[in-house]
Each structure stands twice: as structure tokens, then as C-alpha cells.
């Protein structure tokens, strides 16, 4: 397998001189099998450039695409109406997501192109969209890929994915808070809330299931939006620190951790420092730590 990062930023796209090297577009990762099979994880603003590449490669011919969504916060779906293959007739785009709100997936995801928000509704796009609900713990086979959705701890719910293919594995764990402070239920959090015994048991279970799902995974892409001091101020936002990601990945025996979903305010120079600091921390713990940047391509497991 090979993966390419098309958007590594969290929350919103960040143009400007501070993001030239690590990139300013939001969540989007392309996963390729050695046979050429393709999965897209998350449809943030990075999806626009990926769509341009896929349309170019396809030479205008209709294609078949699978897009796995972690959740439907704007930074993870905003790229969909700008995905060039959606405008190629005969193309089929299957979108996989957790049903986190009362609405149907089609209403929620299609809803980003209501006429108030976007000039052309997705349902009127020439491509055919299919929506599939995923369930944590229930495996799916998508072409050559075996995909396992994993429950995460984020407002209104999010899922991660472990993807096995070509005898190796990569997992996408974003967006998620750690499993100590907050249980993200379906209501607005103004700050930290006291956890009940039940809440604690639920969080322990989510954490145990995550560690099990990531067991001996080759590469794990993890939401590491916050530095520890930022996390202390915003523990209810639903994101983790690199230290929290390291703890989970070391416990699961992961070979390589990729830092991802960078805070919009983390400019290139700060990202350099984070990259260096956590590469060293990882080395001491026996795990490779890589900081993702836009355009980064990475071979998973052996050579593809």
C-alpha cells in the first residue's frame, strides 16, 4: 500500500506564509493498493487537489470511488462539492459514514450543497452518489481492502478506520479526544463535564476496542491537533495530543505513528519543532513518529 496526504490541517483551511511547507488544506488521505485500488479517507479541502489528479489520471473516463468519512464536521466534508470526478457522468462515488444525527446520511452530506451554501446540489451532479452507513466493529470489504470502522471519542461521534491490504495495514484515527476527560455525547459542551461511572466504563471500552483494533498495525495516522498546554485549555474540543497518541500506539504495538490534523495556528516553524521533539520521544519508546505534511507520500509495510 501507499498513502498520500492531500490535507493535514484541522478545523479550517489556512492559507498564507505560515503553512507553505506543511500545507493549509483540511483532512484528506489517499490510500492505494499495489494493484492500483484506491480508497479516500475524509473529504476535507484536500480532496479538491486529489480530485483533479484522479480526473487527470482517468482521462475524463468515468470512475468508481470509495470515500470513507470519519465524521461530517465541515473540515472533513467541505471538499466533496469540489471533487472533480463528481462532475464526470457515469462515475459512481460511494460514501461511507457513521449515522450520528437523526437525519439520513444523504440529507446530512448532501445538505452541504443546499442552495443557501453552494450553487449546484450534489444530487444534481453527473456522478452517482451512494451512501453507506458504517458500524464500529463491523468489517467491510471494499475491493482489495478490508476495512474495520472503530468508534472514537468526538462530539456527536466519529469513527476511525483500520485498512488491511497487501499483507500490511494502515489506520486513520481522527478526530478523537483521549479517553479520560470527556465522553462525547450528543450535546454541546461548554467545558469539562463530570463523568458518571457509566461514562467511565463506556470510555474504557472505547479505548480498549481502539487499542485492540490497532494491534500490530504498521502505520497509524492520529489526530494530534493539540500540544499539551493547549489541550489543558480546551479538553472538551475533542482532539488529542501527540503524547496521548503515542500512549495508545505504543500499547497497541504500532510500528509507525503519523501526526495529523494539525491545529490551524501551528505554523511551519512550530511544526518543525513538534516533528523533531516527537520523533525523538518516539525513538526512545521504540516507535517511528512522522509528522504529516501536504503532499507527503508514504509506503506502508513492504514496497508496493
Partner 1 sequence: MKVRFWGVRGAFAMSGREFLRYGGNTPCVELVTDDGQRLAIDLGTGATELAKSLMGTELGKGKGELHVLLSHTHLDHIQGLPFFTPFFLEGNHISIHGVDPAGTSLEATLQNQLAPHYSPLGGLENLGAHVSVETFQPGHRLVLGPFKISTAPVPHATMWTTSFRIEADRKVVTFLSDVEYPDPLAPDPAAVALAMGADLLIHDAMHPDEEYDLRRGWGHSPVSAAITVAEAAMVKRLALFHHSPDATDDQIDRVVALAQARTKIPLFAAAEGAYLDV
**Chain residues in the site for partner 1 (CB under 8 A):** 11-17, 19-20, 23-25, 45, 48, 72-74, 77-78, 82, 100-101, 103, 108, 111-112, 114-119, 155-156, 186-190, 237-238, 264, 294
Smallest gap from Cβ 253 to partner 1, in A, equals: 32
**Cα-based torsion angle of the residue sequence 32, 40, 20, 273 in order, rounded to the nearest 10 degrees:** -80
DSSP string spanning 6-39? Answer: EE-B-SS---SGGGTTT---BSEEEEE-TT--EE
Asked if 184 interacts with Zn ion (CB under 5 A), we say no
With beta carbons less than 8 A apart as the criterion, state whether 78 and 165 touch: no
> In the bound complex, what is the minimum distance in angstroms from residue 233's beta carbon to partner 1?
12
Q: With contacts defined by CB under 5 A, how many residues of the chain interact with Zn ion?
A: 4
Cβ-based nearer residue to partner 1, 73 or 261: 73
Of 190 and 216, the one with the shorter C-beta distance to partner 1 is 190
End-to-end Cα separation, the chain, in angstroms: 6
* Residues between 8 and 67 with contacts to Zn ion, criterion CB under 5 A: 10
Select from Zn ion, partner 1, none the partner in contact with residue 189, using the beta carbon and a kind-dependent cut-off of 5 to 8 Å. partner 1
Least distance in Å: CB of 61 to partner 1? 21
> From residue 55, how far is each of 11, 59, 186 by CA, in Å?
27, 6, 38
- The x, y and z cell numbers of residue 238, run together, are 475533542
Helices (H), 102-196: 105-110
Q: What one-character DSSP code corresponds to residue 275?
A: H
Q: By rule CB under 5 A, what string of x and - marks binding of each residue 70-109 to Zn ion?
A: ---x-x----------------------------------
Q: How far is CA 290 from CA 22, 257, 296, in A?
A: 12, 6, 10
Q: Which is nearer to partner 1, 48 or 66 (CB)?
A: 48
Which residues contact Zn ion by CB under 5 A?
Answer: 10, 73, 75, 175
Amino acid at each position: 500500500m501507499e498513502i498520500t496526504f492531500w490535507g493535514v490541517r484541522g478545523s479550517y483551511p489556512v492559507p498564507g506564509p505560515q503553512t507553505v511547507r506543511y500545507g493549509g488544506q483540511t483532512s484528506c488521505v489517499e490510500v492505494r493498493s499495489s494493484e492500483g485500488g484506491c480508497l479516500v479517507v475524509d473529504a476535507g479541502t484536500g480532496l479538491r487537489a486529489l480530485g483533479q489528479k484522479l480526473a487527470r489520471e482517468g482521462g475524463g473516463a468515468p470512475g468508481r470511488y470509495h470515500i470513507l468519512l470519519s465524521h461530517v464536521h465541515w473540515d472533513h466534508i467541505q471538499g466533496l462539492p469540489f471533487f472533480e470526478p463528481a462532475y464526470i457522468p457515469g462515475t459512481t462515488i460511494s460514501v461511507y459514514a457513521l449515522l450520528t444525527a437523526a437525519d439520513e446520511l444523504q440529507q446530512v452530506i448532501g445538505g452541504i450543497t443546499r442552495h443557501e451554501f453552494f450553487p449546484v446540489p450534489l444530487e444534481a451532479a453527473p456522478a452517482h452518489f451512494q451512501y453507506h452507513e458504517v458500524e464500529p466493529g463491523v468489517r467491510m470489504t471494499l475491493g482489495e481492502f478490508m476495512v474495520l470502522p472503530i468508534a472514537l471519542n468526538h462530539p456527536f461521534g466519529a469513527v476511525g478506520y483500520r485498512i488491511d491490504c497487501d499483507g500490511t495495514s494502515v489506520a486513520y484515527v481522527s478526530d478523537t479526544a483521549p479517553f479520560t476527560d470527556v465522553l462525547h455525547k450528543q450535546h454541546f459542551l461548554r467545558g469539562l463535564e463530570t463523568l458518571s461511572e457509566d461514562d467511565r466504563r463506556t470510555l474504557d471500552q472505547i479505548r480498549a476496542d481502539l487499542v485492540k483494533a490497532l494491534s500490530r498495525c504498521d502505520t497509524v495516522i492520529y489526530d494530534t491537533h493539540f500540544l499539551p498546554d493547549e489541550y489543558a485549555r480546551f479538553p472538551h474540543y475533542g482532539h488529542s495530543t501527540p503524547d496521548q497518541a503515542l500512549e495508545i500506539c505504543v500499547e497497541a504495538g504500532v510500528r509507525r505513528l503519523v501526526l495529523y490534523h494539525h491545529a490551524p495556528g501551528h505554523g511551519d516553524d512550530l511544526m518543525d519543532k513538534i516533528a523533531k521533539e516527537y520523533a525523538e520521544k518516539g525513538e526512545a519508546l521504540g516507535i517511528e513518529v512522522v509528522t504529516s505534511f501536504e503532499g507527503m507520500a508514504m509506503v506502508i509495510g513492504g514496497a508496493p
